[in-house]
Amino acid sequence: MLRIAVQAKGRLHEETMKMLEESSIRIETSKRLLLIQSPNFPVEILFLRDDDIPQAVATGIADVGIVGENEYVEKGEDAAIVKRLDFSKCRLSLAIPKEADYQGLQWFEGKKIATSYPKILQDFLNKNGIKAEIHVITGSVEIAPGIGLSDCIFDIVSSGSTLVSNNLKEVEVVMKSEALMIGNKQLSAEKKAILDELLFRFDSYKNAEGKKYIILNIPNDKIEAVCKLLPGMKSPTITPLVEKGWSSLHSVIEEKTFWDIISQLKAIGAEGILVVPIEKMIL
């Protein structure tokens, strides 16, 4: 049985639970339970505060954990990065009052900075030779300048809308963050085998994300032109049709380029274009 530490609530929790569900791992959640076993896969989920996950994994309370890179770096626990999961992306940034005249990092000299990430901030200040007072706050860091607790803040930024609503502007990105899977360094062979299967399922789900399966009919003399648009995973699959001079072509395209490619395919002469969602993709 592999024990996975997962954030108890928030955006990272929601995206992690979705990934488990898409990987066909059933978790029957309950607000009353902090430890839940899957009925169809040898894992159990331990729900924790995000800042407790690195220590839980390092000390063996959990075998692996899914946590933001910001918390992993801040805590500095002895746990290994198993995989970058490519979701819950954000950044840790310095932000100052909107009306302030910012000319560079020296603006922070002697200032009071509110943050929930004092270690990352102190390392950044030391690296740049800046002396400032760090005021540690847990939660609602963005209100600190407005109520006179600090001159500026160092906090997580996603869209930036929270900064705008608090009359702040982002001036320096200190680090970028995403969801990580971290692991205890003393996993048994049995638990490593379960983890490998889990990661295989995660990869199959992530590989399919943002992609569409496309099927179309095309005159044989246009196949080469279509292949240049639709390279697929290796190359498109081509099957002759009953109607002479025509073939059916199958490939995978990125959803973000979907409409541009469809327009080009129609211009080349493609007909009967069928687009299908991809649930899993194994490379």
**pLDDT tens digits, one per residue of 229-276:** 876 556 788 999 999 999 999 988 888 888 888 889 999 999 999 988
Average pLDDT for residues 132-143, to the nearest whole number?
A: 93
For domain 90-177, give the fold: D-Maltodextrin-Binding Protein; domain 2 (3.40.190)
Strand order in the sheet with 90-97: 133-136, 112-115, 152-157, 90-97, 168-177
pLDDT of residue 145: 94
Model's pTM, two decimal places? 0.83
CATH class of the domain comprising 210-277: alpha beta
Structure tokens at 252: 């995978």
Averaged pLDDT of the chain: 92
Length of the chain measured in residues: 283
153: confidence class by pLDDT, cuts 50, 70, 90: very high
> CATH topology of 2-88+178-207 equal to that of 90-177?
yes
Is 90 exceeded by the pLDDT of residue 179? yes
How is the chain split into domains, by residue range? Answer: 2-88+178-207, 90-177, 210-277
pLDDT of residue 229: 81
3-state SS class at 264: helix
For domain 2-88+178-207, give the fold: D-Maltodextrin-Binding Protein; domain 2 (3.40.190)
CA dist 245 and 254 (Å) reads 28
Q: Which long-range contacts (CB under 8 A, 24 or more apart) does 191-194 make?
A: 191/2, 191/63, 194/1, 194/2, 194/42, 194/43
CA dist 206 and 127 (Å) reads 36
110: confidence class by pLDDT, cuts 50, 70, 90: very high
